[in-house]
Amino acid sequence: MPSRAPSGSSGTPRTFTARPGRFHTRRSWTGGGWWGLGIVIYDPRFWSGGHGTRALRLWTAATFADTDAHVLTLTTWSGNARMFRAAQRCGDRECAQIPEVRRWQGRRHDSVKRAALRRDWPGASAGCENAGL
């Protein structure tokens, strides 16, 4: 259920909640064919079950299908092992790392940006049906 109207490439963020209170995704246009996206799974009952990987694949496919995006990026932190695995499974590559910018439970963690190029992403030209879903 979209909570904000689809934006195409107008620059307006697009937010989508797959199941209210459980999943949240967001994407925004930053210019030059560069889109940022992300997912959040609020409910721990849905962690470590492949839901994040599936949501990220679907969101990546939808963004490539709905926009003229050349590159999609997501930003997470080095302590988020689940997001790292989901992004790796979707073919994202690490493209930036800023050391020790996040503090969590008394420890410092890096901010990490990962990217998927349209030409490298398996489902970019055909949509979800060829994206391994």
Query: Is residue 73 one of the residues assigned to a domain?
Result: yes
> Phi then psi for 128, rounded to 5 degrees?
-65, -30
Q: Is residue 1 part of a domain?
A: no
d(CA 28, CA 14): 6
Amino acid 6: pLDDT: 38
- Model confidence over 42-62: pLDDT tens digits? 888 888 889 999 999 998 998
Domain extent for 44: 14-130
Is residue 8 in some structural domain? no
Spatial strand order in the sheet of 34-41 = 14-16, 23-31, 34-41, 71-77, 107-117, 93-104
Residue 25 is part of a domain; what is its CATH number?
A: 3.40.630.30
Number of domains in the chain: 1
User: Does residue 9 lie within any of the structural domains?
Assistant: no
* pLDDT per position as a tens digit, 97-116: 999 999 989 999 999 999 99
Q: Is residue 22 part of a domain?
A: yes
Q: For residue 132, is pLDDT > 90? A: no
In a domain, residue 107? The reply is yes
3-state secondary structure of 32: coil
Angle between helices 81-89 and 51-66 in degrees, nearest 10: 50
